[in-house]
Chain A
Amino acid sequence: MDFWESDDLAAHRDAARAWADANVRPEWAAEQVRTGCHQTPELHARLAGDGILGAGWPPEYGGTDVDLDFARAVFDELARRGVEADGWSTTSMVAHTILQVATEEQKHAYIPAVLRGEMLIALGYSEPDSGSDVAAAKTTAVRVPSDGTGAPPGGTGAGGTGASGTGASGDWVINGQKMFTSTAQLASHVFVLARTNPDVPKHKGLTLFLVPTASEGYACQPIYTLGGQVTNATFYAGVRVPDRARIGGVDEGWSVMKVALVYERGFGSSTSLEQTLARDLAAWARAARRPNGTAVFDDPLTAERIGRIAVDEEVTRVMSLRLGWLAQRGELPQIEGSMRKLFWTETIQRHYSDALDILGADGVLAPGAAAASGAPAGGEFEHDFRAAVVTTVYGGASEILREIIAERRLGLPRSRRA
């Protein structure tokens, strides 16, 4: 048994840093925080141009010969510099799904464009009435003849269970609304989960479509969140797409979703979440003085609270290492992944709350006021406090993760109805 943390990307770290030095503008991180958009188009173009997006993809679909580990090291470095690439995350998730389930024509139609940086895909799963219960989606897709004349033949897509590309042609008309379609403001497409058959159990009547945002009837409205991220509500009013935009079989969307969710839960993203809150707080507390002249850190209760944060950060770190170890053994660590996300997100909310208590008045100063008033760490604490709130909701809400753990690790009977 050993806990040595080996860096399997060590050979590429210097090159990744060099690439970032040459290509990443220092102001982009602050700009992302300011605009709430976690995707920088100019960066995306450079990543595409240098073949980094195409690393590890089959050459017949536009894959490049850039080393995949180098590409991973570049993305690590971007994250370290505070520059997110959420649009690329969702896009590559969908592209991987396409690689798994789509027709050859579709793979050739979409994947090269994705890897050239020309296609950016947002996820359209959640709706105003369904998030965790994603299969309850109410956005509809109804088949219509390609010539666009009026009513669909014989009602909804009932019976249209043929494999994509065979038999039925025609278009689909999509009506409905999606919520939290993040990065849609920059996206060229939305991966829309729609109901194509209301007469069967909910999981059995879903289909996925790649909907161009340039479509008539499509609209996108920003949603401003507590954590500063700007997401979107997207609207589909009679949006028409050809059948070749359907990914996977009619009414077979749930099995396609399951593939996509594997990539979203990111069991493969087992690189340690580097957490520096305890360290940053300790540094601040060492320097900050109380009215009586002693350092804030000299208060044993303060030191204890900071220590508690450090302990939880270490647990998260080792849980992340465990994920990497399991993945390297070829296992799919779904339960351990759920545990890690549950533990990490629930604890950071307490941590940032504690941090604000420890910092006192300084803790609530915003980044804008930081330079003037000397807020610690450039005001990151108050921003991170707000940003922590959503982490227990997205990418698998804590309640759902607890149920996964209860059912699959503890053997307890399913508590929510299917």
Chain B
Amino acid sequence: MNLDFTDEQRALRETLRDFFEKESPPAVVRAAEPLGFDAALWRTVAELGLPAIAIPEDHGGAGAGSVELAIAAELLGRSLAPVPLIEAATAGRLLASHAGGAVLEPLVAGERLATLALHPAVRDVARLVPAGAVADLVVVLREDALLLIEQPVKPGPAIPNLGAMPLADCPIPADLVVLARGPEAVAGYHLAVRQWRLLTAAALVGIASRALEIGLDYVLQRRAFGVLIASFQTIQHRLADNATAIDGARLLAYEAAWADDVQRGPPPPAWPRCRSCSRRRRRSGPRRRACTSTAVTGTRSNTTSSSTSGGPRPGPSWPATAGPGTRSWPTSCMTHRARRTIDRAGRTTHRGRRWPTCRTTHRGRR
């Protein structure tokens, strides 16, 4: 057990924190609305090589892993940066396993943008694809075939939504590329969707942390009844609960990222728990955290000049795009998790849950 980042990871964290704070302040976030995409910022992000950070080195990427991507996602979340880094990174990793250099090179170079449909296509359309309104390429599963779609028009018709995200329905044209077929294609697709979830979880941790900071700043300045409102018990207790939940969520998000990095082959029963758990936890967290921060900032949160008012919107919306219609927690995610629990309950287990003890070589950095 070791919760320290490596020196490189720490450096990445500091660099990206500064980068997003400088390049994606609230003014940039607001200017990008309602589409939720800033092309100039995206070009800068691409130039930094971030979308290719976890693509293998022999495909031109940096060869890093999900922990590094989670770091980037968390810091992107802190700033609500209007760039589809999570989609591009996830689609890129999937394409690195299934597509050739001709497809991958422009993605790695940041010249083209790929995204991932979060649900299999139904009747020739991939619905509510994140970054679907701005992507050049969409990777989607249809039945047992993994498809690569070249989008005809960019930006496409974005569907207005609560989180100001560049969502779109992407039609599947007649001329498409079948990247792979069969059980491996299906497994690869679902792995990519889970990776999207865990990175979105990390981004939500970022949103929640920033919302808490804004709330803390505020309560340490605002006075009522002659004293700082920070000294009121109810304020303190709610913020303490927030901080605890954020700690828990962050631990879970990074556990999920670590688990993704170490696993090889089909996921062991314990493994999907992390990713599902992390998504689940993060869904509740930022909305509550952001709402509490909004609540403690009182009426100010209702004015458009407050940065907190930007908080609650992406929070609840982002995870909902991965859900099949339930308002809060995607049932599929939880059913998946619960089924794994059943599997374990059905076997004779020895006490306690242990991670697989096979310490296969992994890319995890020390």
Q: Which residues of A contact B (CB under 8 A)?
A: 1-7, 80, 272, 274, 278-280, 282-283, 286, 297, 300-301, 303-304, 306-308, 310-312, 314-315, 317-319, 321-322, 324-325, 336, 339, 342-343, 346, 399, 401-403, 405-407, 409-416
CA distance A312 to B251 in the complex (A): 12
- A415→B251 contact, CB < 8 A: no
Cross-chain contact A304 with B241 (CB below 8 angstroms): no
Pick the contact of A283 from B235, B245, B251, B342 — CB < 8 Å?
Answer: B342
Q: Among residues 60 to 101 in chain B, which have CB atoms less than 8 Å away from a CB atom of chain A?
A: 67
B4 within 8 A of A: yes
Tell me whether B300 is interfacial, beta carbon within 8 Å: no
Residues in B whose Cβ lies below 8 Å from that of A3? 1, 254-255, 258-259, 355
Give the most central of A3, A4, A282, A343: most B CB within 10 Å: A3
Indicate whether B29 reaches chain A with its CB closer than 8 angstroms: no
**B residues less than 8 Å from A280 (CB atoms):** 345
Is B239 an interface residue, CB under 8 A from the partner? yes
Q: Are A403 and B240 also in contact (CB < 8 A) when A311-B281, A314-B273 are?
A: yes
Residues of A within 8 A of B245 (CB): 343
A-B contact pairs, 21 of them (CB 8 A): A1-B6, A1-B364, A3-B1, A3-B255, A3-B258, A4-B359, A5-B354, A274-B352, A307-B329, A307-B338, A307-B341, A311-B252, A311-B277, A317-B353, A318-B248, A339-B243, A342-B244, A402-B237, A412-B220, A412-B230, A415-B231
For B262, the chain A residues whose CB sits under 8 A away are 2
Give min CB distance, A416 to chain B, whole Å: 7
In chain B, positions 285-338 with a C-beta closer than 8 Å to chain A are 326, 329, 331, 333-335, 337-338
Q: Is B3 an interface residue (CB 8 A)?
A: yes
In order of increasing CB-CB distance, the 7 nearest A-B pairs are: A307-B334, A406-B236, A283-B345, A402-B240, A315-B248, A405-B240, A304-B334
Q: Tell me what chain B mostly uses at the interface: helix, strand, loop, or mixed.
A: helix
Interface residue from A4, A301, A412 paired with B231 (Cβ < 8 Å): A412
B246 CB to nearest chain A CB (Å): 10
Q: Is the CB of A416 within 8 A of B5?
A: no
**In the complex, what distance in Å separates the CA atom of A413 from the CA atom of B228?**
9
Q: B346 within 8 Å of A by Cβ? A: yes
- Residues of chain A within 8 A of B154, CB atoms compared: none
Inter-chain contact B341/A322, CB cutoff 8 Å: no
Instruction: Choose from B252, B335, B353 the contact partner of A307 (Cβ within 8 Å).
Output: B335
Asked if residues A303 and B338 are in contact (CB atoms below 8 Å), the reply is: yes
Taking the complex as formed, is B33 at the interface, i.e. its CB lies under 8 A from any CB of chain A?
no
CB nearest to B278 among chain A residues: A311
The answer to whether B277 and A410 have CB atoms under 8 Å apart is: no
Complex CA gap A413/B235 in Å reads 11
For the complex, give the distance between the alpha carbons of A401 and B243 in Å: 12
Q: Does B194 contact A (CB under 8 A)?
A: no
Nearest-Cβ distance from residue A295 to partner chain B, whole angstroms: 10
Q: A2-B258, A318-B248, A318-B255 are in contact. Are A303 and B354 (CB under 8 A)?
A: no
Cα separation A356 to B6 with both chains bound (whole Å): 45
Distance from B145 Cβ to chain A, minimum over Cβ atoms (Å): 27
Q: Given A3-B355, A272-B352, A282-B338, are A403 and B1 also a contact pair (CB < 8 Å)? A: no
| CB neighbours of B249 from chain A (8 A) | 315
The count of A-to-B residue pairs whose CB atoms sit within 8 angstroms is 177
Closest to A76 in B: B351
Most chain B CB within a 10 A radius of its CB, from A306, A311, A318, A410: A311
> How far, in Å, is B200 (CB) from chain A's closest CB?
15
Which residues of the other chain, A, contact B67 by a CB distance below 8 angstroms?
A: 1
Residues of A within 8 A of B9 (CB): 1
With a cutoff of 8 Å between Cβ atoms, the chain B residues found around residue A80 in the complex are 351
Contact (Cβ within 8 A) A343 B244: yes
Partner of B243, one of A274, A322, A410: A410
- Taking beta carbons and an 8 Å cutoff, which residues of B are in contact with A? 1-6, 9, 67, 216, 219-220, 228, 230-233, 235-237, 239-241, 243-245, 247-249, 251-252, 254-255, 258-259, 262, 273-274, 276-277, 280-281, 326, 329, 331, 333-335, 337-339, 341-342, 344-346, 351-355, 359, 364
A1-B5, A307-B280 known; A7 and B354 CB under 8 Å? yes
User: Do residues A410 and B342 form an inter-chain contact, with CB atoms below 8 A?
Assistant: no
Per a CB cutoff under 8 Å, which of A282, A312, A339, A415 touches B247?
A339
Residues of A within 8 A of B331 (CB): 300-301, 303-304
* Nearest CB on B from A293, distance (A): 18
Complex formed: what's the CA distance from A181 to B1 in Å?
38
Residue ID in chain A nearest B232 by CB atoms = A415
With A2-B2, A314-B277 already in contact, the answer to whether A319 and B230 are too (CB < 8 A) is no
Chain A residues lying within 8 Å of B243, measured Cβ to Cβ, are 339, 405, 409-410
Q: A283-B345, A343-B248 are in contact. Are A321 and B1 (CB under 8 A)?
A: yes
CB of B251 within 8 A of CB of A319, answer yes
Q: B248 touching A297 by the CB < 8 A rule? A: no
Contact between B233 and A403 (Cβ–Cβ < 8 Å)?
A: yes
CB-CB < 8 A to A279: which residues of B?
341, 344-345
> In the complex the two chains form, what is the Cα distance from A256 to B276 in whole Å?
46
The minimal Cβ–Cβ distance linking A331 to chain B, given in whole angstroms, is 12
Q: Within the complex, which residue of A4, A303, A401 is in contact with B355, where a contact is CB–CB below 8 Å?
A: A4
Report Cα–Cα, A343/B241, bound state, in Å: 8
**Distance, CA A47 to CA B236, complexed state (A):** 44
Partner of A306, one of B2, B254, B338, B344: B338
- Shortest beta-carbon distance from B219 to chain A in Å: 7
Q: Which of B241, B258, B274 has the most CB of A within 10 A?
A: B241
- Specify which chain A residues have a CB less than 8 angstroms from the CB of B219 in the assembled complex: 412
Taking a contact as CB atoms closer than 8 A, the residue among A318, A401, A405, A414 that contacts B251 in the complex is A318
A409's nearest neighbour on chain B, judged by CB, is B243
A306 to B273: give the CA distance in the assembly, Å: 13
Given A303-B334, A315-B281, A403-B236: A308 in contact with B329 (beta carbons within 8 A): yes
Q: Are B236 and A402 in contact (CB under 8 A)?
A: yes
Most chain A beta-carbon neighbours within 10 Å: one of B4, B5, B337: B337
Instruction: Tell me, in angstroms, the Cα distance from A283 to B341 when the chains sit together.
Output: 8
Q: Which residue of A is nearest B233, CB measured? A: A415
**What are the residues of chain A within 8 A of B334 when measuring CB–CB?**
300, 303-304, 306-308
Q: Which residues of B contact A311 (CB under 8 A)?
A: 252, 276-277, 280-281, 337
Pick from A1, A343, A415: contact of B258, CB below 8 A: A1
**Cα–Cα, bound, A143→B239 (Å):** 47
Q: State the CA gap A274–B352 with chains docked (Å).
A: 6
How far apart are the CA atoms of A325 and B277 in the complex, in Å?
Answer: 22
Residues of B within 8 A of A409 (CB): 240, 243
- Of A4, A272, A399, the residue contacting B237 (CB under 8 A) is A399
What residues of A have a CB within 8 angstroms of the CB of B235 in the complex? 412
B247, B274, B333 — which one has the most chain A CB atoms within 10 A of its CB?
A: B247
Q: Say whether A324 contacts B1, CB under 8 Å.
A: yes
